Amino acid sequence: MKFSVIVPVYNVERFLRQCVESVLNQSCGDFELILVDDGSPDNCPRICDEYALKDGRVKVIHKTNGGLVSARKAGCVVAVGEYVVCLDGDDYIAPNCLDSFAKAIDAYSPDICLCGFYKAYAENEVKCLPFENAGFYDKETIEKHIYPYLIENKYGRYFSASIWAKAFRREIYTEYQTSVDSRIKIGEDQCVVKPCVFRAESLYVIDECLYYYRQNDESMTKSKGVFDLSVPKLIANHFEKEIDVSSFDFQAQIYRHAVHDLFNAVASQFNAKRDEKEIRRIIRQTLSDEYYKKALKESRFAFLSKGWLARKALKNKMFCLIKAYNDRR
């Protein structure tokens, strides 16, 4: 079997049928569709079972709610396809998506294949092609052209962090998906994607948009709120475990990315329904963490870049500026 398409499902009843049917109607039929019901409180469990009864290519897993990482782990455990494709339950793919992946895989046998996507709003669609040039990348080309910004360079550029719009060789995907800490509820995609790219011997970029990313605030991946202040460190520690930091400048990249994530997590604290003095106390306590202090000390960004401003705001505890940024998001 060529593909295992894994779809975590939670509270996406309005969109689930379009998602599932976009897979079942693919021009390439060599796939299994794994629907992971993550304890969804709506009618999603019934819809998943309905499709499984109608189409033998559909597998359904019902589990208690554990979050996106937990759902994807459950899916990859039962996957048997040569490649894994991840699809969010409120998104959908073009009819030729798997066929385009299959043609690139048959021609080049890459460890990872990626394509562009559309941001699908209610009123229109915005085309987003990959940053990378289309075509085949061997290991030497990956090291030369992607490693310098795999995690984050000094200008704030980083390799596509989303797990969707990609096909991963299953053995590589499973190794890194199962190693992700389930406490990571934001930024979990990059914990799989970036180690996979580091490990990959080759990849192929398709210069075509084949994935539709729906802007839906109710989904597992697009909800807003107050981010866990421990997560930036969890992500950084994960990178340090799964990526050889002695090669290239990966440790410096990890520190930059930790500062980037920390700034977003700190800014989100102002969404909390608590006294602002308490919010500031919590932020000060977080900034006293030894890892965060080291990341802020060691990270270097281009002058006046977003990263430079974020680092300056955190180091100088510029709470009014951080709050104003959060209010405008």
Q: What is the structure's pLDDT at 163? A: 96
Nearest to 98 by CA among 6, 37, 20, 26: 26
The DSSP code sequence of 124-163 is -EEEE--SSPSEEEEHHHHHHHTGGGSS--TTS------S
Q: Please give the Cα distance from 38 to 84 (Å, whole number).
A: 19
Does position 225 have pLDDT exceeding 90, yes or no? no
What domains appear along the chain, each with residue ranges and CATH number? 3-214 (3.90.550.10), 231-328 (no CATH)
Question: In the structure, what pLDDT confidence band is assigned to residue 36 with cuts at 50, 70 and 90?
Answer: very high
Query: Taking a C-beta distance cutoff of 8 angstroms, is the pair 76, 196 a contact?
Result: no
pLDDT, tens digit, 9 for 90 and up, residues 89-107: 999 999 999 999 999 999 9
Share the mean pLDDT of the chain. 94
Question: In the structure, what pLDDT confidence band is assigned to residue 221 with cuts at 50, 70 and 90?
Answer: very low
Strands 92-93 and 135-138, by their bridges, are unpaired
Number of neighbours of residue 99 by Cβ within 10 angstroms: 16
Q: Please give the Cα distance from 270 to 280 (Å, whole number).
A: 9
Q: Please give the Cα distance from 145 to 203 (Å, whole number).
A: 12
Q: Please give the Cα distance from 174 to 72 (Å, whole number).
A: 10
Average pLDDT over residues 286-294: 98
